[in-house]
Amino acid sequence: MIVLGIESSCDDTAAAVVANGREIRSNVATSQAELHARYGGIVPELASRSHVQQIVPVVRAALADADLTLPEVDAIAVTSGPGLAGSLIVGLNMAKGLAAASGKPLIGVNHLQGHAYAAWLHQPQTDSQPAPPPPEELCGFPLLCLVVSGGHTDLALLRAHGEFERIGRTRDDAAGEAFDKAARLMGLGYPGGPAIQEAAAHGATSDPLPRAWMRGTWDFSFSGLKTAVLHRARAEGIHPPPDGGPDPGAVAALARSFQDAVADVLATKTARAAVEFGARGIVIGGGVAANSALREALNDRSGVPVISPPPALCTDNGAMIAAAAYHYLKRGERSGWDLDVKPGLTIEEAPSASAALVTRITAPGSDISA
């Protein structure tokens, strides 16, 4: 089954073609990072306007790169939430238009579930190099999913395809948001995650920053860490920046302490939750999952296999949306024309919050993947 996946929930306009929920036939994205960099964060109106300009060329390029035309695609998938309403609506309406014009099924996808399904993706393989086994074959269910993005930090159990149960979440800032805010305090620019990772690579070890363990829960909290960064940045003459800029060595050391603190808490709690809930493997996704310190810490602490998509598939992309959609479609689900954007959707929720929006298109047990 060939799915065209469209993603426009935040500041990346993306589209991809994926075969059978796994094989990437094309994956196209335009980043708006430069547009928002001067504001130190995403400006929703600018994001929405840029999606309008980019969506048609990006979808065209995804089809062209896959060497396919619209009639050759089996379904059109699109992120319907969570995200910025004005951004989501651009991708959603594009998808509706394509589905209406082609007569192909339309399927709304939960962006957070999409981040988890990035772990299923692989590039087309040659005969001598077979496709890697999917996570449920490699490890078995249940799988523990750590989704760490700019807007969310969720720990969820995936008991079977599509059955997500959230066991922990952030009580305040998302991990990516913490990276972005800490980077701003250190004068490192936007997006903060890659900038902090780069600076931290040259950082000497310094006094550790505090960790919020949120004991007795699987929840996270990063706002205290952000305040600790502010105090340290003030004490060390990093913020506000002095004439001539802060000492790069001090910035690098603070970046390293911050990154170590985030990676330590995320990796330690995720590894412990895997034991507690009997998870057979861990999958990670979302922009912060691209972070090398987090990946290393999780691999060190976990007693079960950790499946980490390549960094480019951790950040927002259309392929993860097509990958998640494959499993919705296999269950016989499709969205109605009344599919709407759901900016506040949680990882557990169906993309169309009302069950009435999802209709069966095949008899139970039948397979439309052929």
Among residues 73, 290, 319, 341, which is the contact residue for ligand KG4, using CB under 6 A?
290
Provide CB contacts within 8 A for 315, sequence distance 6+.
12, 287, 290
> Which C-beta is closer to Zn ion: that of 313 or that of 357?
313
Does 149 interact with ligand KG4 (rule: CB under 6 A)?
yes
Does 150 interact with ligand KG4 (rule: CB under 6 A)?
yes
Residue 291's binding partner among Zn ion, ligand KG4, none (Cβ under 5 to 8 angstroms by kind) is ligand KG4
Q: Which of residues 10-39 bind ligand KG4 (CB under 6 A)?
A: 10
HEC readout, 273-327: HHHHCCCCEEEEECHHHHCHHHHHHHHHHCCCCEECCCHHHHCCCHHHHHHHHHH
Residue 194's binding partner among ligand KG4, Zn ion, none (Cβ under 5 to 8 angstroms by kind) is ligand KG4
What six digits make up the tokens of 270?
């995720």
Residue 176's binding partner among Zn ion, ligand KG4, none (Cβ under 5 to 8 angstroms by kind) is ligand KG4
In whole angstroms, the minimum distance from the beta carbon of 315 to Zn ion comes to: 7
Among residues 149, 153, 170, 270, which is the contact residue for Zn ion, using CB under 5 A?
149
Helix (H) or strand (E) holding 26: strand 23-31
Stretch that binds ligand KG4, among 54-62, 186-194, 214-222, 335-343 (CB under 6 A): 186-194
Among residues 86, 151, 246, 309, which is the contact residue for ligand KG4, using CB under 6 A?
151
Among residues 26, 80, 170, 291, which is the contact residue for ligand KG4, using CB under 6 A?
291
Does 91 interact with ligand KG4 (rule: CB under 6 A)?
no
* Rounded CA separation 111/115 (Å): 6
Does 192 interact with ligand KG4 (rule: CB under 6 A)?
yes
Evaluate whether 72 touches 40 at the Cβ level (below 8 Å).
no
> Which C-beta is closer to ligand KG4: that of 179 or that of 222?
179
Among residues 30, 257, 315, 335, which is the contact residue for ligand KG4, using CB under 6 A?
315
Instruction: Give the largest Cα separation in the chain, rounded.
Output: 69
Helix (H) or strand (E) holding 250: helix 248-276
Give the position of tokens 């480019």.
312
> Which C-beta is closer to ligand KG4: that of 142 or that of 191?
191
Decide: helix, strand or coil at residue 253. Answer: helix
Evaluate whether 261 touches 253 at the Cβ level (below 8 Å).
no
Cα 250 to Cα 151, 231, 236, 292, distances in angstroms: 28, 13, 7, 21
Task: Provide the mask over 102-141, with x wherever binding to ligand KG4 is found by CB under 6 A and - wherever it is not.
Answer: ----------------------------------------
* Rounded CA separation 108/236 (Å): 48
* Rounded CA separation 107/358 (Å): 9
- Per CB under 5 A, residues contacting Zn ion are 149, 316
- Per CB under 6 A, residues contacting ligand KG4 are 10, 149-151, 176, 179-180, 191-194, 197, 286-288, 290-291, 315-316
